[in-house]
Amino acid sequence: MIAQLRKLVLGETWTLPIGVAVTLLAGLALSSAGPDWWQPAGGFLLLAGALATLMAALRRR
Query: Which stretches of the chain bind other proteins, using CB under 8 A?
Result: 1, 4-5, 8-13, 16-17, 19-20, 23-24, 27-28, 30-31, 38-40, 42-43, 46-47, 50-51, 53-55, 57-58, 61
Among residues 55, 51, 52, 53, the alpha carbon closest in space to that of 18 is found at 53
CB of 61 to other proteins, least distance (A): 7
Q: What is the nearest approach in angstroms of other proteins to the Cβ of residue 2?
A: 11
**CA–CA distance, 32 with 18 (Å, rounded to integer):** 21
